[in-house]
């Protein structure tokens, strides 16, 4: 929903912007109504579940404003092909930012902060990721995040 709001804001500043949401889920009807309410028909579309690779070859930027992510495989896939990533501070965001592949937006993500990050990323050149983390790298990062979360809840 916040990505659609950001797209409506960005449409005012960037000509020719087009948002494609790949995937399927229980919020589809809600998102379609939001597209209609924001007058984004023709600017934003829901294409359902399909292989995201062809979309990434055309993408100028990849957005993942999630409230939570385990790791963020889709964002890593975008970075692998050199598409600039804009994502919320979840999952692999810090790692992708350290690689120079992502701009991270703090939680909670607002439409204005997301639109600003997307606009900056549209003009930012990136190079494809050189290193893809192994399963062990991903597991170690996940364990570190869980330890931090548990420690903060226990006052450590």
pLDDT reported for residue 156: 54
pLDDT reported for residue 124: 82
The DSSP-derived string for the chain is: -HHHHHHHHHHHHSTT--EEEEB--TTHHHHHHHHHHTT-BTTEEEEES--SHHHHHH-S-EEE--S--SS-HHHHHHHHTT--EEEESSTTHHHHHHTTSEEEEPSSPPHHHHHHHHHHHHT------S-PPPHHHHHHHHHHHHHHHHHHHTT-
Q: What is the pLDDT along the chain (156 residues), one digit of tens a residue?
A: 999 999 999 999 999 999 999 999 999 999 999 999 999 999 999 999 999 999 999 999 999 999 988 788 899 999 999 999 999 999 999 989 999 999 999 999 999 999 999 999 998 877 777 766 676 877 787 788 888 888 877 765
pLDDT reported for residue 130: 74
């Amino acid at each position: 929903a916040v990505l659609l709001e950001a797209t409506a804001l960005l449409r005012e500043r960037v000509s020719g912007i087009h948002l494609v949401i790949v995937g399927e889920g229980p919020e589809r009807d809600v998102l379609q109504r939001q597209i209609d309410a924001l007058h984004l028909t023709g600017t934003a579309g829901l294409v359902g579940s399909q292989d995201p690779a062809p979309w990434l070859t055309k993408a100028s930027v990849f957005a993942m404003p999630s409230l939570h992510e385990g790791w963020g495989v889709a964002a890593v896939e975008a970075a692998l092909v050199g598409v600039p990533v804009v994502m919320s501070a979840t999952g692999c965001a810090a790692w992708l930012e350290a690689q120079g592949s992502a701009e991270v937006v703090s939680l909670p993500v607002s439409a204005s902060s997301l639109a600003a990050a997307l606009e900056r990323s549209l003009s930012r050149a990136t190079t494809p990721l050189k290193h893809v983390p192994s399963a062990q790298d991903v597991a170690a990062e996940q364990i570190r995040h869980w330890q931090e979360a548990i420690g903060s809840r226990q006052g450590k």
